[in-house]
């Protein structure tokens, strides 16, 4: 069996030889074909991306409709109050290992733990923003009192 450095050197030499050989042995017909393929891809790529985005958006809308969640369920201002919302499909108080239909709830605790972490991070960020806003208003009041 060859040693690892010899094997890596062999792979490098094969890659260089095959990479150079792929382009040096091409005739005019092959070059024209390559240019047509690359050009067609460059022309169609934006349309393919838009098509994929539309398909993905439709799938997200379908998933949201199936789960019953709409954009209007929770107003953003309600999130700022610190009120906790029920997470669909997850009951935080239950410790059951098996769901209603008999299937296992793998990763349920990890999902709940992650959601709690995100809630705490959002609360800390809101508190920091509130403190900054209070400090800014204190500066404004101090400016008015000094003048």
Mean residue pLDDT across the chain: 82
- Quick one: pLDDT at residue 137? 83
> Are 82 and 126 in contact, with CB atoms under 8 Å apart?
yes
pTM above 0.75, yes or no: no
Report the alpha-carbon distance of residue 67 to residue 81 in Å, rounded.
Answer: 25
Which two tokens mark 78? 């309600």
**Residue 130: C-alpha distances to residues 4, 18, 28, 82, 117 (Å):** 59, 62, 68, 13, 20
**Three-state DSSP state, 90:** strand
Question: What pLDDT, in 10s, does the model give residues 37-84?
Answer: 999 999 999 999 999 999 999 999 888 888 765 555 666 667 677 666
- Quick one: pLDDT at residue 95? 46
- The CA R_g of the chain, rounded to the nearest whole Å, is 30
């Amino acid at each position: 069996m060859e040693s690892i450095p010899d094997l890596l050197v062999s792979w490098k030499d094969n890659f260089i030889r095959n990479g150079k050989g792929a382009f040096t042995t091409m005739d005019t017909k092959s070059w024209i074909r390559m240019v047509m393929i690359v050009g067609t891809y460059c022309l169609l790529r934006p349309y393919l991306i838009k098509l994929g985005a539309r398909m993905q958006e439709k799938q997200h809308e379908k998933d949201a409709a199936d789960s019953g969640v709409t954009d209007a369920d929770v107003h953003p201002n309600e999130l700022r109050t610190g009120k906790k919302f029920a997470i669909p499909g997850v009951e935080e108080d239950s410790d059951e290992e098996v769901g209603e239909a008999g299937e296992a709830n793998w990763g349920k605790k990890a999902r709940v733990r992650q959601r709690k972490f995100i809630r705490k991070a959002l609360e800390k960020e809101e508190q920091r923003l509130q403190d900054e806003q209070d400090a800014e208003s204190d500066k404004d009041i101090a400016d008015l009192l000094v003048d």
